Amino acid sequence: MSILVNKYSKVIVQGITGSEGQFHAEQMLDYGTNIVAGVTPGKGGQKTLDDRVTVFNSVVEAVESTNADTSIIFVPPSFAAEAVIEASFSGIKVVVCITEGIPVHDMVKVKRVVNQNGTRMIGPNCPGIITVNECKLGIMPGFICEKGNIGVISKSGTLTYEAIDQCVNAGLGQTTAIGIGGDPIIGTTMRDCLELFEADTDTEGLVIIGEIGGQMEIEAAHWAKDNMTKPIIGFIAGKTAPPGRRMGHAGAIVSGGDDTADAKIRILKECGIHVADSVADIGSLMKAAMESN
């Protein structure tokens, strides 16, 4: 099994005729993702990617023609919020937004709409999601993954890839890996993902990659303590960041409270999560946890 996407997901690519959309849509197609349509206003009726994908003017047209249920968005920041909202009102169930730099006030509106419509949004400012050997949505390098029973949740794109690689090197493959994004307002939280993975019978262990700033990791840890039956390996990036410093992501701003790396590490451990001191330790810790579980 998997969470959120699989080989049966019917995917549309919003912004498919742009350079980013073209490049990554081709990579996704080659991985085996079931892309049924593309959307670019004003270019409806065209074919793209060696005539493999039909382009529509709007999401609603694409959905009516293909019964698409999933969308990935490669649209510039000034238009990305409206692209998500369009997908949500068109009946799309899962929306992945790769775009970085969407204004916070736009995301407030997006968050309200997707919640009202029951749309599952991943991102923005994220690498996407991959269910190994079935569906790749985003910019993750599919070739580093191997099918297995470990779920991966991460705020950081590059650390997602490193965690996957460490697990594979330890002989542990993945069910689904999801990059949730590092912006202050995102669609799917770490706790949301834990709930989904806990319900997935094929996922037997989890890796969570967090960072300084915010309360998301703490909320996830407290939920996991009371609800998770599967071992979790955690890692918190930004241990050397001083208070008030933003490190990389817009959401990674430390105020000096329990959003520091040391505070989060302490709370994760108190909640029964094994915390790696280094990214390089993730694979070995996950393997040991699986063997002892």
Please give the average per-residue pLDDT across 167-192, as a whole number.
Answer: 95
Residue 266's pLDDT is 95
H/E stretch holding 32: none
**What pLDDT shows up at residue 254?**
46
- Domain boundaries for CATH 3.40.50.261 within the chain: 141-292
pLDDT band of residue 258 (cuts 50, 70, 90) is low
56 backbone dihedrals φ, ψ, rounded to 5°: -115, 160
Catalytic residues: 249
Phi, psi of 81 (to 5 degrees): -60, -45
The pLDDT mean for the chain works out to: 93
Is the domain spanning 11-122 CATH 3.40.50.620? The answer is no
Quick one: pLDDT at residue 212?
85
Q: What is the spatial distance between Cα 251 and Cα 257, in angstroms, rounded to a whole number?
A: 15
Range 130-136 average pLDDT? 98
Alpha helices in the chain (DSSP H): 19-31, 59-66, 77-89, 104-117, 157-169, 190-199, 216-227, 261-270, 282-292
Distance CA 87, CA 77 (A): 16
| Residue at token pair 């918190």 | 236
The highest-level CATH class for domain 141-292 is alpha beta
**Which of the four pLDDT bands, split at 50, 70 and 90, describes residue 252?**
very low
The pLDDT of residue 44 is above 70:
yes
CATH 3.40.50.720 location in the chain: 11-122
